[in-house]
Amino acid sequence: MSWRLDNRRRFVLLLLAASALLMQMVLDLTRTPTRQWDYELKLEAAQLAERAFTAVREHRGLEGADLDLTNDPAGTGLIGPEISLITNATGNLEAKLTSLNPNFAAVLVQYFRQAGLAPGDPVAVAISGSFPGMNICLYAALETMRLRPVIITSVGASNWGANNPDFTWLDMERLFVERGIFHTRSAAATFGGGNDMGRGLSPSGRRALQQSIERNEVAFLASANIEDAIAKRMTFYEQAVRGRPYRLYVNVGGGVASVGNRHNKTLLPSGLTRDLKSYNWPRKGTLILFADKGVPVVHLLRIIALAEANGLPVAPDYQPQPGEGEIFVRDMYRWPLAATFLVVYCLACVLILAPELRRGLFDRIGRRGTSAAVLGAVMALALAPKPAAAAKWREVAADNPGAEICLRDTDQQFAYLELTADGNLEFRVNGPRRVKLISRHIAPTGAPIGERYTIRIMLDGSEVLRKSFTAKPHDGIALCAGEGRVSTLRRAYVDVPKGVHTLGVSGRTADDSRLVCRLFGQTRRRQTGTVLFAPESYLELATLQFESGAQSTYYRFTAGTPLVFSINGPTTLQLYTRLDFSAGMLGSLPYTLEVRQDGEVRRTVHYDTQRLANAFYPSRLDILPGTRKKLVIKVPAGRHQFEIRCVRPDNCGLAAQIRLPRHDVEGRP
């Protein structure tokens, strides 16, 4: 092989590597905020939790409680003293502050959805007074999803928890019920602490716990030792639902009767667990006993790790607002663009690097007169500009712009509008659409950037967003004229309802520094894709639950009960079917579908399918879904009736989903 040929090969490989990095950079720069699954349900739970947080804050204010604003900077009233008569363990203040976030309710809703829970399902719950903020979020999630919890509370608490003898977790529960926020209350209570019996507390501390249980009229589970405490909890759980199986077990904190032993805490994973690993447990608490029965468990103890995993702040010095965090909205890659890049890059690799083609390619490169042409074609393939995508955001001009501040970033300049605390910038927005406000903090030269600032957005005179940010310096951007330091941009989003609305934007800083902003509206796109089409006759409705938490609606039918529907054409239907598998069935199975149009057989199709892993029907645990098979049905002009029948095997059962092009929803005469 010649030296020149080897150098050309290196050049082409380097070119491929550079194009891959360029494509990745474009994908990173075009990521867009995307709502996560069950956004509305999660937001509802977080807002309910926020109401409970506010109730405690108002109640403590009316009582004239002496709040420690150093350890409880947001003034929530949910951070107790370091030491009290009912303090039973060492607590981490950072973890307690992290748990005071109503958006943990959204995390719990996601766990419940992933566990396949439905309204009315029984849930066994074990909590303590150590994390009152997390308890509130749990109650909000339970009530939002209309579940039936059976709650046993360990009234004692660790440092900085609900360890005020006059305002324990049971007292907070009563406050929420009286305010009409929650209907959920503890069904039974214990002292908690050592052996779940208050071991390690003084007699005065145990009396204070007993008084709290009695004044809140909660049943007391007295026990002789830790084994007795665990057995009585299990008996109470079983009797409370009268033999109905529990669908989930939830534990908040490190109560010994729930986890079994302090060594178990290092083995128990946080979050949702469907199949708990089999360890040599020193002692099996109620959490492990439920897991042994096949009940999924949610363990909430390593709060900081849970917050980081779900994009929530750690130990914030402010009260987070509902809807903040990656649990609601996350920057996602644009999949059509990613798919296009993947296809282009794979084609380039095949053409350039395939062994049978590479030899001829480099031979041609070596020929005089064709080298430049081939290299030019390769570079054009890798670096050709991609078709510009439609703009997702468009800047909205202010009705009363006021002062403009020019900022520059290398060779680009941007016009920002200055924000003040007294007057509102006003924007007119035609909904429904989402708007994005980007803001920056400008500090005088020499002054540090690190101050907090607050953005306030009014919709037709009513406040819809108040959000605080911490400014961070950005050395790559500066004022076009004058001196000053500029922070990185921060984003805030608001959903504007249908109609023409006025948005008022104002901002406040702790000093005399300036705030600037720009407002963008989400551009509307032509609706494409397909929608779910409901048949007129079927056996039953079935929800397919995936392990990721995603759900899909299917219509079940059998050999004796076909799927029947009428539709206007011309259009094209997509029919997805899944064969029912019994719980013990393995391998692949064949099945046959018959499509009848207006009473006549039009098509007969045969499939081989396998059991689908990591998915199930929450309402029909006796059957499991098969892999999905697709059938395209061309519907001619006019109105037609279709029957989908399962012909083989005998007594076959199927779940089907019919999808109709979105632009054909209205149908044709």
Neighbouring C-beta atoms of residue 488, cutoff 10 Å: 15
What pLDDT score was predicted for residue 357? 52
Q: Which two tokens stand for residue 363?
A: 């031979």
What pLDDT score was predicted for residue 354? 64
Name the more confident of 203 and 550.
203
Q: Which two tokens stand for residue 115?
A: 């566990």
What pLDDT score was predicted for residue 42? 95
Q: Which two tokens stand for residue 410?
A: 């290398």
- Does the pLDDT at position 234 exceed 60? yes
Distance CA 300, CA 272 (A): 9
Name the more confident of 9 and 464.
464
Taken in order of first residue, the domains within the chain and their CATH numbers are 3-31+334-383 (no CATH), 39-315 (no CATH), 393-522 (2.60.120), 530-664 (2.60.120)
| C-beta separation of 117 from 242 below 8 A | no
Q: For the chain, report the end-to-end CA distance as a whole number of angstroms.
A: 71
Give me the helices (H) in 511-625, please.
Answer: none
Axis crossing angle, helix 371-383 with helix 3-29, rounded to the nearest 10: 20
pLDDT band for position 386 (cuts 50, 70, 90): very low
Rounded to 10 degrees, what is the CA torsion of 48, 52, 55, 61? -130
pLDDT in tens, 178-211: 999 999 999 999 999 988 999 889 999 999 999 9
Q: For the ranges 361-365, 444-448, 534-538, which has the lowest average pLDDT? A: 361-365
CA-nearest of 39, 111, 119, 42 to 543 is 119
User: In residues, how long is the chain?
Assistant: 669
Q: Percent of the chain scored above 70 by pLDDT? A: 90
What is the sign, positive or negative, of the torsion defined by CA atoms of 312, 316, 322, 323? negative
Burial 261-281 (b: 16+ CB within 10 A, else e): eeebeebbeebbbeebeeeeb
Q: Does an H or E element contain 600, and which?
A: strand 600-610
What pLDDT score was predicted for residue 368? 45
* Amino acid present at 83: I
What pLDDT score was predicted for residue 370? 46
CA-nearest of 216, 196, 52, 187 to 122 is 187
| C-beta separation of 434 from 416 below 8 A | no
CA-nearest of 435, 317, 329 to 103 is 329
- Taking residues 131-153, report their average pLDDT: 97
Name the more confident of 664 and 48.
48
Q: For the ranges 215-224, 246-255, 316-325, 386-395, which has the lowest average pLDDT? A: 386-395
67-76, 102-111, 527-536, range with greatest mean pLDDT: 102-111
What pLDDT score was predicted for residue 550? 77
pLDDT band for position 356 (cuts 50, 70, 90): very low
Q: Which two tokens stand for residue 478?
A: 């500066």
pLDDT band for position 84 (cuts 50, 70, 90): very high
- Does the pLDDT at position 655 exceed 70? yes
pLDDT band for position 587 (cuts 50, 70, 90): confident
- Does the pLDDT at position 364 exceed 70? no
CA-nearest of 531, 544, 534 to 564 is 534
Mean pLDDT of the chain: 85
- Taking residues 344-352, report their average pLDDT: 80
| C-beta separation of 174 from 184 below 8 A | no
- In order of 486, 488, 496, the CA distances from 506 in angstroms are 18, 18, 17
pLDDT band for position 325 (cuts 50, 70, 90): confident
Cβ contacts of 313-318, under 8 Å, gap ≥ 24: 313/98, 313/101, 314/94, 314/98, 315/93, 315/94, 315/97, 315/98, 316/74, 316/97, 316/98, 316/101, 317/73, 317/74, 318/73, 318/74, 318/452, 318/468
pLDDT band for position 668 (cuts 50, 70, 90): very low
- Taking residues 146-155, report their average pLDDT: 96
Distance CA 580, CA 561 (A): 15
Distance CA 258, CA 265 (A): 10
- Taking residues 412-428, report their average pLDDT: 84
Name the more confident of 99 and 357.
99
- In order of 224, 368, 424, 544, the CA distances from 228 in angstroms are 6, 90, 64, 41
pLDDT in tens, 473-511: 887 788 888 888 888 888 888 888 877 888 999 988 877
CB proximity list for 189: less than 8 A, separation 6 or greater: 152, 153, 154, 155, 170, 213, 218, 219, 220, 221
Name the more confident of 14 and 364.
14
Q: Which two tokens stand for residue 483?
A: 């001196």
What pLDDT score was predicted for residue 374? 45
pLDDT in tens, 507-549: 888 776 788 999 999 876 555 677 777 778 888 878 888 876 6
- Taking residues 658-664, report their average pLDDT: 77
Q: Which two tokens stand for residue 346?
A: 């794979």
pLDDT in tens, 256-304: 999 988 778 878 899 999 988 877 777 889 999 999 999 999 999 999 9
| C-beta separation of 453 from 418 below 8 A | no
pLDDT in tens, 209-223: 999 999 999 999 999
- Taking residues 27-44, report their average pLDDT: 87
What pLDDT score was predicted for residue 287? 95
DSSP string, 436-476: EEEEEEEE-TTSPS--EEEEEEEETTEEEEEEEEE--B-TT
pLDDT band for position 346 (cuts 50, 70, 90): confident
pLDDT band for position 389 (cuts 50, 70, 90): very low
Distance CA 181, CA 173 (A): 10
* Amino acid present at 584: G
What pLDDT score was predicted for residue 520? 93
Q: Percent of the chain scored above 90 by pLDDT? A: 41
